[in-house]
Amino acid sequence: MDEDSQKKLRSQQWFAPSAGGKGGFVHRKAWRKNQGLPEDTYGKPVIGICNTWSELSPCNTHLRFLAESVKRGILEAGGYPLEFPIVSTGETIIKPTAMLFRNLMSMDTEESIRANPLDGVVLLTGCDKTTPATIMGAASVDLPTIVVPGGAMMNGMFRGTRIGNGTYVWKLKEKINTEGFTEKDLKDAEVCSARSEGHCTTMGTASSMACMAESLGLTLPGAAAIPAVDSRKKTLAQLSGRQIVEMVQADRKMSKILTREAFENAIKINAAIGGSTNFIIHLQAIAGRIGVDLKLQDFDDLGSKIPLLVNLMPSGKYLMEDFYYAGGLPVVLNHMKSHLHNNALTVNGKTLGNNNEDAVCFNEEVIRHIDTPLQKEAGIAVLYGNLCENGAVIKPSASSGKLLIHKGKAVVFDDMEDFRNKIDDPELEIDEKSIMVLKTVGPVGYPGMPEVGNLDLPERLLKKGITDMVRISDGRMSGTAFGTVILHVSPESAVGGTLALVENGDTIILDVPKRLLQLDVDESELEKRRANWKKPASKAKRGYPYWYTKTVQQAHLGADMDFLVKDFEASDPTETN
């Protein structure tokens, strides 16, 4: 790298001979002498490898070794790699919910990048929240950044059939009650569903986030679907290491890639793949960090009429490994080109259209052609009405068609503890026409907005062969889940939204074609209830959760903390010694 190029490097504000006098001396001494580095090391592009590896995050354990492949690529391209850890979240383990800590993880990512002499960043991601959290944090700093998705586990096979992580879990209560599943059956299925390192095998949130990153242009082509333990994942990581050095030299930072057009592409692709409803809340948060105006209604306007092309659980029958063998996301991007902004820039300097114009499908049962989709219209429907003044969402492709227009009596659960205590009570007045309503599981109420919206059905209804009912909450559901489930009700019940006022026996009207969710109760009666409503006591008493509940935005805005959006300017550490 020549001297003029070196001067343009952000890291040189720490290390150049004139950088801060005594401060520069200290930085260089610590940089070279303590680590035994050659004299010319500090003149190279410094690339941070933001690693979400943690033994507390089972889906990301292989990232510890994948980082070595990234480092090789960076060194080959003339950069200097520095790996650093951040807070990580394992979806299946962390309590009360990983979503509570997404914003904390994003802050850790942002401040680690901002405060250190980095010229570019590689984000190693995997489990659900690790992808949006790191992208949110990196977007707030706006350096050249590339994402390396960790990849899904190998296909699970149980007694001759595919078994998808998560999706199978939501069927267990039904299987125990109607198929006589034993403890041994459950243990066998458990082992079969987790065959290797990597994240969930379905088109759940983790896979949806990997596809989101690729459709936004933040990964190399084809990155999203490579299985975690496939050797081609290491190849992708090494090539990404080379690419980030070139990105630094070209000053191809995130704001040049994350344009309004890129976000619109991601919305349409999430619809085409049958992606998670969690995609909405994460993409909005990323848009807020980079300064793109993205409204909840955009997800309906842009995505609800898109055909479903990918035949993966929970909306289909195959898994991510099959998706990769069929050609992966490049095939979908190619099939969808008439709907996309194909001139959107990507990390390799080429456009989205250029990257995917030669993609070939190898299994049309897994990836359908746009003329023969699984469903003519998929995506997310955004509902409005007095029960959700700021919106609620439903995933029609994972719902029962006969329930998309439904009128029923509310069966109310005040919180998850109330639900667990009542749901299998023989005295509970509930039938298949009822609408289950769960309160106090929103961003503020839980706190953190857990994935509990796809409530288990009562045992006695499962035994009758009922497999779906309308369920409403201010929480979320796993991207691996399914059912006629209305989520993200905003405003949430814990801050006084109309959801807080619903009582047992109230009539609720759902009409997805008309985008309506309405509580059929007179406004005068609602005003009486509102006057008597008392805000529930917060469960967040100290530390980060307390801070979170005081500053978190509602679901329709992405559930980010209000001081983290684009309008809040951060200090520049390079201006201090």
CA 329/CA 50 separation, integer angstroms? 24
Cross-strand bridge partners of residue 351: 345
| Among candidate residues 84, 82, 72, the one with its CA nearest the CA of residue 110 | 84
Question: ∠ CA 154-156-162 to the nearest 5 degrees?
Answer: 125
H or E stretch at 23: helix 22-28
With respect to CATH, is domain 381-539 assigned 3.50.30.80? yes
Q: Which fold, 44-155+205-305+544-577?
A: Rossmann fold (3.40.50)
First-to-last C-alpha distance (Å) of the chain: 26
| pLDDT value of residue 20 | 54
Preceding amide of 81 cis, omega within 30? no
231-244: pLDDT as tens digits: 999 999 999 999 99
Dihedral sign, CA of 174, 179, 185, 188?
negative
Q: Which residue has the higher pLDDT, 107 or 163?
A: 107
CA 47/CA 36 separation, integer angstroms? 18
Preceding amide of 426 cis, omega within 30? no
| pLDDT value of residue 37 | 83
243, two tokens: 């690419």
CA 485/CA 197 separation, integer angstroms? 30
What are the b/e assignments for 49-66, b being 16+ CB within 10 Å?
bbbbbbeebbbbbbbeeb
Where in the sequence of the chain do the CATH 3.50.30.80 domains occur?
381-539
Q: Please tell me the least confidently modeled range out of 192-201, 371-380, 508-517.
A: 192-201
| pLDDT value of residue 176 | 65
Asked if residue 32 has pLDDT above 80, the reply is no
**Cβ(307)–Cβ(336) under 8 Å?**
no
Longest CA–CA span in the chain (Å) reads 79
101, two tokens: 């800590």
Where in the sequence of the chain do the CATH 3.40.50.2300 domains occur?
44-155+205-305+544-577
Preceding amide of 149 cis, omega within 30? no
Contacts of 155 (CB under 8 A, 6+ apart): 162, 195, 201, 319, 321, 322
| Among candidate residues 431, 406, 385, the one with its CA nearest the CA of residue 526 | 385
**Cβ(50)–Cβ(121) under 8 Å?**
yes
| pLDDT value of residue 571 | 63
Percentage of the residues of the chain whose pLDDT score is greater than 90: 79
Percentage of the residues of the chain whose pLDDT score is greater than 70: 92
Report CA 511 to chain centroid distance, whole Å: 27
Average pLDDT, the chain: 92
Q: SS in 3 state form for 328-346?
A: CHHHHHHHCHHHCCCCCEC
Question: What is the average pLDDT across 247-268?
Answer: 98
pTM (two decimals): 0.94
Q: Which residue has the higher pLDDT, 322 or 482?
A: 322
For residue 2, what pLDDT band results from cuts at 50, 70 and 90?
A: low
Residue with token string 């035949």: 311
| pLDDT value of residue 90 | 87
194, two tokens: 């987790």
Which of helix, strand or coil describes residue 299?
Answer: helix
309-320: pLDDT as tens digits: 999 988 888 999
| pLDDT value of residue 26 | 73
**Cβ(153)–Cβ(179) under 8 Å?**
no
What are the b/e assignments for 237-258, b being 16+ CB within 10 Å?
bbbbbbbbbbbbbeebbbebbb
**Cβ(282)–Cβ(132) under 8 Å?**
yes
Going by their DSSP bridges, the two strands 516-519 and 405-413 should be labelled as unpaired
